[in-house]
Each structure stands twice: as structure tokens, then as C-alpha cells.
């Protein structure tokens, strides 16, 4: 009955069934088990209460650093695409140098090399005004470790984000740029009104993935003593010797944040694909 003269019966094709993948069910089950442990087990509840302040610090460092990194990355990407060779060379030099240095090394470099040099430069440039009492003198202790970590993450991620922006900008058809220029729009107006609005749609998914990666890499700021989840877990486990329970909670907190954001990015990407059809 399903065929007529050997040919399939014409009709409306069935929409594919949307099924929840097994890996997501496993993650949800794992999350429910850990949530039950935290609520029912006194040791896990104590550890969770000791670490929850670190969640705020982790999110604060990640959000601020990523916002700065996107701004700096866009500037570097525009320099990379500039018609002036000097700007292109400077931007390319910046990207290659920063991408070639591990993030942990950059954290140490900014915290223990860059920060003292910035303080010394401040006191030298504004020495006269400082002596006159108009500007305050700075010391290395005035440069908070959290902000040193934020600046290090900003510089490290800006190089990768610059390449994402560059790829998104170059994905815009050149014909649209030429058409806008033929209408009398200047280069910056073309970039702002024609190129960037389309490039943003292209770069949103990879930017979301980079933000998830930054939340994980923010654990490195614990090396500077910043009171994030990892640092609080390190201190608590060292004082109680409950390493197994403590790092279970640490991993659980990171997984809740990263998996939730990854699902959000996947949903945004799927919605953008549907609107493009």
C-alpha cells in the first residue's frame, strides 16, 4: 500500500523525531546525583557552602575578562584587515606572539613582571604631579591580583578572538562591500552598517565556545591566589584532607556552568540556522 506501480506513494515527509541524546541524559543524571549528595550528605553540603563564593569570583573574572578580550580582539582584527601595512604587521605580530605563549605563563608574566612595570611607569610619568599631591603614588600592592588575572586573560584570549572576528568579517561577500562603497559610503561606515552586523551572526557560536573555554581556563587564576572555585577547593582540601569530596564538588560546579553554557550556545546556533533558511 505504500507504493504505487513500484514508486513510493507521494505524501508529506515526516519531520525527524527530536530525541534527547544519551550523553545529555547521562550528564543530567550525574547532576541530579550530585545535587542529591550536596543536599543529603553533611560533608558535601559543608564543602559546597565553602566553595560557593568562588562561583561568583569565577563568573566575575570570566565575564569581565571576556568583555575586554572581545573589545581588544575586535580592534586587533580590524588592524589585521587594515589597508595600511604597518597596522597589519603590528596586529599580526601581536596575534602570533600572544597565541604562542601558554596562558599560565602569561598570568605569571602579567602578575609579576607587567604589573610592577606599570606601577613604575605610573610613578615616573606622573612623578611631578605625585610630588605636588595631585596624583597618588602607586605601589605594587595596590594592583589587585584579581585585576592582574583579568588583564592576563584579556590579552591571552584577545588574540584568538581577533582571528574569529577576522574570519567572520572576511566571510561577508566582497560584492556587498563594493556595492556599499559605490553608494558613497566610507570604509568605516561600510564596516559598521554592512559588514559587522553580518559578521556578528557568523562569530556568535565560536565566541560562545570561547567563553565556555575561558570559564575553564579561569581556574588558572588560582595560581595567583585569586579566591575562585579552584583556589577555595585547594585551601579547603588541604586543611581537611577531604580531597575526593572537595574536588568532586569543584568538578561539579564547573560542569554545571560549562555544560549549561554549551547547551545554550548549541541552541543559539540551531536557531540561527533555522532563521537563515
User: Please, which pLDDT band fits residue 10 given cuts at 50, 70 and 90?
Assistant: low
Query: Model-level pTM greater than 0.85?
Result: no
Write the pLDDT tens digit of every residue in 39-97. 888 888 899 999 989 999 999 999 999 999 999 999 999 999 888 899 999 999 999 99
pLDDT value for 190:
79
3 - beta bridge partners? 8
Write the pLDDT tens digit of every residue in 12-48. 555 556 677 788 888 888 888 888 888 888 888 899 9
The mean per-residue pLDDT over the stretch 130-146 comes to: 81
Q: Beta-carbon neighbour count of residue 67 at 10 Å? A: 13
| 186: pLDDT strictly greater than 70 | yes
Please tell me what DSSP assigns to residue 84. Answer: S
The mean per-residue pLDDT over the stretch 163-168 comes to: 90
Cβ atoms of 233 and 54 closer than 8 Å: yes
262: which 3 cell numbers?
Answer: 554549551
Residue range 25-31+43-276, CATH number: 1.10.3720.10
Write the pLDDT tens digit of every residue in 215-237. 999 999 999 989 999 999 999 99
DSSP-derived 3-state class of residue 248 = helix
Give the residue extent of every domain in the chain.
25-31+43-276
Give CA torsion, residues 32, 34, 40, 42, to 10 deg.
-160
Mean of the per-residue pLDDT values of the chain: 85
User: Exposed e or buried b for every residue in 149-173, given b needs 16+ CB within 10 A?
Assistant: bbbbbbbbbbbbbbbbbbebbeebe
Amino acid at each position: 500500500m505504500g507504493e504505487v506501480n513500484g514508486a513510493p506513494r507521494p505524501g508529506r515527509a515526516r519531520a525527524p523525531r527530536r530525541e534527547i541524546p544519551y550523553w545529555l541524559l547521562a550528564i543530567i543524571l550525574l547532576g541530579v546525583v550530585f545535587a542529591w549528595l550536596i543536599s543529603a550528605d553533611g560533608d558535601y553540603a559543608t564543602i559546597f557552602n565553602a566553595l560557593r563564593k568562588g562561583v561568583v569570583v569565577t563568573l566575575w573574572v570570566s565575564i569581565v575578562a571576556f568583555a575586554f578580550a572581545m573589545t581588544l580582539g575586535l580592534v586587533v582584527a580590524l588592524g589585521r584587515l587594515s589597508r595600511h601595512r604597518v597596522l597589519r604587521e603590528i596586529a599580526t605580530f601581536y596575534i602570533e606572539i600572544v597565541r604562542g605563549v601558554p596562558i599560565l605563563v602569561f598570568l605569571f608574566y602579567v602578575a609579576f613582571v607587567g604589573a610592577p612595570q606599570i606601577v613604575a611607569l605610573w610613578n615616573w610619568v606622573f612623578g611631578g604631579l605625585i610630588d605636588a599631591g595631585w596624583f597618588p603614588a602607586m605601589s605594587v600592592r595596590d594592583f589587585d591580583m584579581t585585576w592582574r588575572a583579568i588583564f592576563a586573560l584579556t590579552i591571552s584570549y584577545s588574540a584568538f578572538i581577533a582571528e574569529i572576528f577576522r574570519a567572520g568579517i572576511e566571510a561577508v561577500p566582497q560584492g556587498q562591500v563594493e556595492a556599499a562603497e559605490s553608494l558613497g559610503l566610507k570604509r568605516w561606515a561600510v564596516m559598521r552598517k554592512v559588514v559587522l552586523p553580518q559578521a556578528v551572526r557568523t562569530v556568535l557560536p565560536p565566541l560562545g565556545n570561547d567563553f565556555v573555554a575561558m570559564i575553564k581556563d579561569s581556574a588558572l587564576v588560582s595560581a595567583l591566589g585569586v579566591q575562585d572555585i579552584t583556589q577555595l577547593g585547594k585551601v579547603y582540601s588541604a586543611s581537611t584532607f577531604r580531597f575526593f569530596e572537595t574536588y568532586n564538588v569543584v568538578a561539579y560546579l564547573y560542569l554545571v556552568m560549562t555544560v549549561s553554557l554549551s547547551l545554550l550556545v548549541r541552541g543559539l546556533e540551531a536557531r540561527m540556522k533555522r532563521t537563515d533558511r
